Structure formats: structure tokens, C-alpha cells
Amino acid sequence: MEITEIISRFKIDGEPSEIKQLTAGNINRTYRVRIGERKYILQNINVNVFHDPDALMNNIIGVCEHLRSKLPAGADPLRETMNFIDARDGRHYFVDEDGKYWRMYVYIDAISYQSITKPGLFYKAGKAFGRFQSMLADYPAETLAETIPNFHNTPSRFEDFRKAVENCRLPERLSESKELIDALLSREKLAHIATDAIASGEMPLRVTHNDTKLNNILMDKDTEEGLCVIDLDTVMPGSVLYDFGDAIRFGASTAAEDEPDVSKIALDTALFDEFTLGFLEGTNGALNSCELSLLPEGALLLTYEQAMRFLGDYLNGDTYFKIDYPEHNLVRARAQVTLLFDIEKKLPELHGIVEKYIKENH
């Protein structure tokens, strides 16, 4: 179906004067659309990844309403929360004749960053994700559907990875990945950090974002304050380690998550420091001592998990992540493993940073 036809199925008057495909995101296809004075985002929900788009949209609408109710006086709800447009049939999405699911929301004129380009920016990112977490602290988590079952269940990710290795039908890919595979399989113990703490009752389940890449925060163009956290498809009950850890994995690395030159990849401890400060301010005393003491392990865990996900996808024949070239998932996995090694090395230093801020607050 033509894009213009799809757009016409949403409750917006007027004809689009500009449609532009945006390239960010590894999962969904996204367009920016101008209609009259206003811009919108039109997004094709990837149903191979999100099997229940109806439940997914109900999650998001509920979470957005809750966030809106928490905005301080004077905040602009059109910029500080996502505003979805219903389809003409009253649903939160439109299904086209090919069975594709589409949603639309009001475009927010702001910046999102792929990497940290100046001091202070990652502090603001930490604050935005921390605040997101605390604004949802009283959200009824039991009403949230699990949009991707076991999304950050690392032991289950480890099993998936092991199976991808075992069942791989691409011998060349298997042999060129051998070193990475060995590094990942030998670290099975890591996979249990969060799930064990949750099972013991020491680590609470919270409503978490679960995809806290830097580029999922829209920031004000002038002040660079975090305006709105986007990409809410994976908001589900989870551990704070997932949100903290994934943000560090992506944002505190000295290189992109798919950097081919591994000599450029390390964990920037100054960025870790900034983010930690912002995150602790944003969560505003809500984290318990178990959560605080394991924050650095969160970074380790999520980097480990992401390495297994990228490499597993490579061994499975690239069925999940969008790729730009055939070796893309291998390059991504190698980058993540490089970062993982560096985080392992710096773990004591990272604990020192977290402890410094805990002491300052007591």
C-alpha cells in the first residue's frame, strides 16, 4: 500500500507535503511526515520481533498517559511525552492489506545523539533515563504485557546463543567467529548476575525501558536537557541493571557499537562517572543497596548479552537485526566483546565511582 494511503487512514486532516524515511533504529521502519504545519512519525511495527502489536500499543499508550500525568506544571506534553494518533477505525494502529502494522505519533523537534560529543551530555542522559524510571515507579507493572518474552533474561539469551552455535549451518561463519564464540561461552557465569539477584528477592522488579541507547532520548536543541524518552516498545518489568547497563554499553563506549576497528573501542570511565551521577539524581534515592552495588555489573551483563545477540544472529543467518553489509553482525559482536573485556578490566574502578556517589549522598 502507498505510504500516502496509509497516512490517510489516521485521524489527521490534510495531505502530506513531505515524507522522508529515517534511517535510525535496528528494528522498525520509520518515516517523518509533514502535514500542514505539523510533523508526524509514521512507523511500521516489526511483527517478526513484536508478535503482539495490539498488546504492545496498549502498553505504550498506558505508559505515555502515566508519564503525561507526572509532568511538572509548565511542561509541554506535546514535546515531553509521545502523542499517538488513532487510526480512523479507532484503534491505536492501522493494519494495511499486506498485514503490516503502522502507528503514527506527533514528531518532536529535538536532537538525539548517536554518541557523546561534549562533556555534560551524558550526565543529562543519565538524568533522563533515571527520571523515566522514577516516573514509572508507581505504574501498575502487572498490566504490562511482555512484548518480547525473556527479553533481558540473560540465562535464556545464553541458551539461545548456545543453540545458535550448535545448530549453525554456515560453517564459514562458525569458523571465523570461533574466538568470539569461545569468549562468550566461557563466561556463562556472568549471565546469572541479575536473574539470581531477582530470584533471591534482593533485586526488585521495576518498570524498565530495556532499550536505553543514547539515541532513544530526545534532547532540547538549545539546552540539551532530556525532553522525552522514546522507543517504548520494550517497556516491561525488569531490573534497573538493564536500563543502566544498556545505556553505559552504548553511550560510554569510545566508539560506535558497530565500530570495525577494535583498537578504538574502550569504556570511557569519565562518561561512566557522568552518567552514574545523572542516573542516581534521576532515580532520586529509589534504588536499594543491592541495585546500587551491582550497577557496574549491569554494564558488563548488557554488553555480554548484546554480544551474544549480535553473534547469534550472525550464526543464524541475520534474521533479526537490520544489517547494512553481510559481516555487520560479526563486526558488531566483535565490538561488543572488545568492550566487554575492557569493562571486566575496569570493574573495580567502576565500583569506586558508584561508591563515591553513594557516600556523597549519605
* Minimum distance, C-beta of residue 306 to ligand GN1, in the bound complex (Å): 6
What's the rounded Cα separation, in Å, for the pair 22 and 32?
7
Tell me the C-alpha to C-alpha distance, in Å, between residue 288 and each of 209, 242, 280. 19, 15, 11
Give the residue from 46, 52, 47 showing the smallest Cα distance to 26.
46
What's the rounded Cα separation, in Å, for the pair 259 and 210?
22
CB atoms within 10 A of CB 345: 11
**Residue 313 binds which entry of Mg ion, ligand GN1, none, with Cβ cut-offs from 5 to 8 Å by kind?**
none
**Residue 26 binds which entry of ligand GN1, Mg ion, none, with Cβ cut-offs from 5 to 8 Å by kind?**
ligand GN1
Indicate whether 268 belongs to the interface with ligand GN1 (CB under 6 A).
no
Query: Binding residue for ligand GN1 (CB under 6 A) from 234, 283, 303, 338?
Result: 234
Q: Cell triple for residue 291?
A: 541495585
* Minimum distance, C-beta of residue 176 to ligand GN1, in the bound complex (Å): 21
CB 282 within 8 A of CB 130: yes
- Alpha-carbon dihedral angle through residues 1, 313, 327, 30, given to the nearest 10 degrees: 30
Q: Cell triple for residue 251?
A: 553511550
Indicate whether 106 belongs to the interface with ligand GN1 (CB under 6 A).
no
Give the residue from 340, 330, 287 showing the smallest Cα distance to 133.
287
Question: For residues 195 and 353, which CB has a smaller minimum distance to ligand GN1 in the complex?
Answer: 195
Indicate whether 153 belongs to the interface with ligand GN1 (CB under 6 A).
no
Helix and strand numbers, DSSP H then E, in the chain: 13, 10
Question: For residues 49 and 95, which CB has a smaller minimum distance to ligand GN1 in the complex?
Answer: 49
DSSP codes joined into one string, 41-68: EEEEE-TTT-S-HHHHHHHHHHHHHHHH
**Residue 268 binds which entry of Mg ion, ligand GN1, none, with Cβ cut-offs from 5 to 8 Å by kind?**
none
Question: For residues 102 and 158, which CB has a smaller minimum distance to Mg ion in the complex?
Answer: 102
User: What is the identity of the amino acid at 80?
Assistant: E
Site string for ligand GN1, 9-48 (x = CB under 6 A): ----------------xxx---------------------
Question: For residues 25 and 237, which CB has a smaller minimum distance to Mg ion in the complex?
Answer: 25
Query: Binding residue for Mg ion (CB under 5 A) from 80, 231, 258, 313?
Result: 231
What's the rounded Cα separation, in Å, for the pair 160 and 311?
11
Indicate whether 155 belongs to the interface with ligand GN1 (CB under 6 A).
no
Q: Cell triple for residue 353?
A: 565511582
Question: For residues 46 and 338, which CB has a smaller minimum distance to Mg ion in the complex?
Answer: 46
Site string for ligand GN1, 292-331 (x = CB under 6 A): --------------x-------------------------
* Minimum distance, C-beta of residue 309 to ligand GN1, in the bound complex (Å): 7
What's the rounded Cα separation, in Å, for the pair 357 and 362?
9
Please identify the residue of the shown chain whose CB is closest to the bound Mg ion. 231
Give the residue from 80, 131, 85, 129 showing the smallest Cα distance to 109.
80
* Residue span binding ligand GN1 (CB under 6 A) among the ranges 13-21, 169-177, 182-190, 228-236: 228-236
* Minimum distance, C-beta of residue 360 to ligand GN1, in the bound complex (Å): 31
Site residues (CB under 5 A) for Mg ion? 25, 216, 231
Site residues (CB under 6 A) for ligand GN1? 25-27, 49, 211, 213, 231, 233-234, 257, 306
